[in-house]
Structure 1
């Protein structure tokens, strides 16, 4: 038999399980706070910008072709930057005098390269658990690439660093407010879900109308639930009354 719930019943269920929903919300919010503020390591980001632009010709058509060539070369540069030919030199410079030794794969994973469509400028960005490390990795990578690009690309010297990375002491992750809000919302949703699940899987008869209206049975009466202590009390009173009647 299909079971339907109206608006009044929904609010009734929410009132009935309000403590469960409140507890779930508090627990999930506290978990989000603990994970966000104490367990997740903050990540810092730094970026440098490079310009791809060779010496322009006086001819307008040649200039346009050179610009298009530079834009297309950025895609090659983006792939080249994180390759061992660049990373091997970056790793040596980063690890020099540094107690924490990083390998090529680790630094490559920290880096990302991006550019806007049809732009001759592209960005190198690094994320690390230290703001100064992130900036150092980006600047070292940019300088190494600028130095090695002409040799790798057969004398094509068209890369300039237009903006060096600076340490940004404000972490980019985790998003503390967002994480706490998500924990709060998840707590409410989880609590409401459990409340409705318990209510819908509860097969006990709660109202007489269910027997008469839904099942079409005839009501012969209602037997109230009597607590065990009340039964004991009534039994004692019944025995006492019986003894008194005998004495009389």
Structure 2
């Protein structure tokens, strides 16, 4: 049997389960707050920029070809930087004299560049702002030193901007996480409310029996609350006593 719900019934369901929806919303928002501020580890970002630019020829055509070659070389450099030949040296330098040894430094490093640009960036994310800047600068310096040996004497990499510690974490995004928790809690509460209502097979009114099931109504027995029964019993006893006295 197909069951339909109109707008009035929708608002009725929301009002009926408003307390449960509010509890769900508050609980999920509180959970998002706890996870964001007490469980998730803040991540900090640092970047250093490098320029790929060899000594230019005075010939315009040769100069253009050299620029295009440098731009294409960046793709090779991007792959090379995160390879063990560079990262192993970086990891050794970072951990030298450091009691807290870092592993998988290569997973903290990413490379980015704009299309047709001779500049590319070494980006690092770590749980410490100073560590992130140190890894970015060490990676740039190590690559600049090793690139000519690896690439057969090609010396066209310059560091144009060193990384500086940024004490503002890039993640987690606290406001966004809490907003997501609030919205999910609200949707969860509304979803549970409708599921409970649609799966409730109890008879709620007489029209369901007569219109939906085609049965004949023989009468309606009203439900009387226990407190009303007690109240009426007390009133009945009091009235009986007054009658006897009269």
Unmatched 5+ residue regions in structure 2? 237-246
Structure 2 residue aligned with 1:72: 72
Residue 138 of structure 2 corresponds to residue 147 of structure 1: no
| 1:18-54 Cα shifts (integer Å, max 9, x gaps) | 0000000010011111111111111000000000111
Equivalent residue in structure 1 for 2:126, among 125, 128, 152: 128
Equivalent residue in structure 2 for 1:108, among 106, 109, 115: 106
| 1:45-98 Cα shifts (integer Å, max 9, x gaps) | 000000011111111111111111111111110010011111121111101111
1:99 alignment partner, SS class: coil
Q: Distance in 1 between matches of 2:47 and 2:22?
A: 44
Residue 61 of structure 2 corresponds to residue 56 of structure 1: no
Structure 1 residue aligned with 2:242: none
Structure 2 residue aligned with 1:91: 91
| 1:152-189 Cα shifts (integer Å, max 9, x gaps) | 00000010000000000000000000000001001100
Q: Distance in 2 between matches of 1:16 and 1:63?
A: 76
| 1:187-238 Cα shifts (integer Å, max 9, x gaps) | 1000000000000000011111111222222211112224567779999999
Q: Distance in 2 between matches of 1:178 and 1:36?
A: 10
Structure 2 residue aligned with 1:245: none
Unmatched 5+ residue regions in structure 1? 239-248
Structure 2 residue aligned with 1:222: 220
Structure 2 residue aligned with 1:38: 38
Equivalent residue in structure 1 for 2:179, among 178, 181, 185: 181
Q: Distance in 2 between matches of 1:234 and 1:204?
A: 29
Structure 2 residue aligned with 1:242: none
| 1:87-141 Cα shifts (integer Å, max 9, x gaps) | 12111110111111123xx100000001011111100011111100000000000
Q: Distance in 1 between matches of 2:230 and 2:198?
A: 35
